[in-house]
Structure 1
Amino acid sequence: MKYKQIKDLNASAVGFGCWAIGGTWNNVSDEESIKSIKAAIDTGINFFDVAPVYGKGHAETVLGQALKNESRDKIIIATKCGLPWSQDERKKTRKDLTKASIFKEIDDSLMRLQTDYVDLYQVHWPDPNTPISETAEALAELKKQGKIRHVGVSNYSLDMTRQMMEGVEVATFQGLYNLLEQNPEHYHNIPLQYRAREEALPFCKANDMKYLRTRH
């Protein structure tokens, strides 16, 4: 397995995406999910990308169960914030990157993941109703508290990322990119505001930021 540096994190070049283990796609058993996570570790994968919204907390819970007996300093947990859900039976998600919401989300994530910190905390989706400066301030405070080690953005434009960088160091930029689609134009029918190969990758290199590639 090859490894890449994300600041002081030595992350496997191939990560384990945890969307499916939340149970959203088909009937995925927790037992099989845990076996898959442990098999990934055996191959040298140490980077696990998850989010609270994957299965409304279930993916984080399963990942926490799978990793509870692993050496914490050898595992890199990357989770996200910004898509909380209502507590009624509908469990409807909303975009919320206010300081109060982020502080609640990180505590809930730490509990489900059975850890006292996450290595990478990513903003999942932009929140048009909350100033980026407020979000950056919240993330910077969580770094000071030791609950998160590094900050990342997902589904952000380059301009939004620049604004985030004014308030907190940004370690990663998660976006679309793969060998067959190096300059995707849409994600979930939403037009992208950058060209991955010509704009986003050089931007990340210039700012000592790793580009986390998704393959949608």
Structure 2
Amino acid sequence: MNYRDFKPYLKISSLTLGGGGIGQVWGETTSEEAVKTVHAAIDHGINHFDVAPMYGKGEAERIIGKSLNGSDADDLFFTTKCQLGTLPDTEVYDKLNDSLTRSLDNMKLEKVNLFLLHSQLIEDNYKLYKFDEMRAKSATTLSCFFNAAIPAFERLQKEGKIDHWGIGGLGQEEAIIQALKHSQVPSAVQCVINPLNSAGAIGYVSEAFNPPAILYECQQLDIPILAIRAVQAGALTSSMDRSPHESGFDKSDFDDFDKAEPFRDLAIEWGESPASLAHRYALSIKGVASVILGVKNRTELKECVEAEAKDLLSDSEIQQIENCLT
């Protein structure tokens, strides 16, 4: 496993085990297999784990707690999140603190190294492209973020419950860029990075959400980047192993799978699985400290670890991948 510069921790494994798969949000797996996957990740040298209460209603966090089971975790780093929404300023700290307290209890930890806003950022009075009450409640306005969320994060830091805070890098492009350029800069940002330039079903805030614009701003401002959606909800793998009726997925993800047929053909031509090539693509993008995996078992994890061990893609190979999808 290679380790990369990541300002919050100095160094981080170039792969991070995410919580969607081990939280049993998609595809078939079990709690027992999820625990074994965490142990295998540690054995492979992965030292960063990215979970959230939303992943299986706390199941991903509980899997971390079961996997550690009181063992020494001093060399490991943990990220969790909170979907804040937009609340009155006086309620923001309590919402973040209550969520974090449950997460720490689930993981059996005294603090997390990175606490991320899991809401999608929007400008005040912005109307979501795909509107429904649930999605609207998940969005955080910039005024709420600047006036209440950032001070709450700083208070949690002073209380020793978190080391750093960051944002999820999803939402209204203009709002995210304003957050990145604010005087109080996030310690890390999760960026959608895949050759489809698609956030799929989670890109419901803007009609034309442009992930490369967020990536570019992070690169220019030297803000640490954690890559998400490397295989775009399965669209850049050999086959979709989930249903459009599962929570967090919709027709857009399956449309992306159809669009990605030339990518799968190219992967076969290069003698590699599509998932492996997609992860190598994300790993090869400038400024990426770690790619967050959505694997749900040891077999999928092994494929990603083997991809990480291969050479980074050259500029010409990256261009060839991008060209096949335009």
> Structure 2 length normalisation: TM-score?
0.56
Partners of 1:184 and 1:23 in 2: CA distance: 23
Residue 104 (structure 1) aligns with: 98
The residue type paired with residue 119 of structure 2 is W
Given the alignment of the two structures, is residue 211 of structure 1 paired with residue 225 of structure 2, yes or no?
yes
8 A Cα contact 1:140 1:167, kept in partner: no
Counting aligned pairs with the same residue, the percent is 29
Partners of 2:181 and 2:93 in 1: CA distance: 17
1:1-216 equivalences under 5 Å are: 1-9=1-9, 10-82=11-83, 95=85, 98-126=92-120, 127-128=139-140, 131-133=144-146, 134-154=148-168, 155-156=170-171, 157=173, 159-160=175-176, 162-163=178-179, 166=182, 168-178=184-194, 180-181=195-196, 183-184=197-198, 186-190=200-204, 191=206, 195-197=210-212, 199-215=213-229, 216=232
More helix by share: 2
8 A Cα contact 1:171 1:209, kept in partner: yes
Gaps of 5+ in 2: 121-138, 233-326
Offset of 1:165 from its aligned partner? 6.3
Residue 243 (structure 2) aligns with: none
The residue type paired with residue 151 of structure 2 is E
Q: Which has the larger radius of gyration?
A: 2
Instruction: Name the count of aligned residue pairs.
Output: 202
Which is further off, 161-170 or 69-78? 161-170
Compute the RMSD of aligned alpha carbons: 2.4
Offset of 1:173 from its aligned partner? 1.3
Offset of 1:31 from its aligned partner? 1.1
Partners of 1:164 and 1:138 in 2: CA distance: 18
The residue type paired with residue 13 of structure 2 is S
The residue type paired with residue 144 of structure 2 is P
Gaps of 5+ in 1: 84-94
Partners of 2:176 and 2:29 in 1: CA distance: 35
Offset of 1:161 from its aligned partner? 5.3
Compared CA separation, residues 161 and 112, structure 1 to 2 (3 A):
farther
More strand by share: 1
> What do residues 38-73 of structure 1 show as CA deviations (whole Å, max 9, x unaligned)?
111111111111101111111101111112344322
Secondary structure of 2:116's counterpart equals: strand
Partners of 1:212 and 1:158 in 2: CA distance: 20
Partners of 1:61 and 1:40 in 2: CA distance: 16
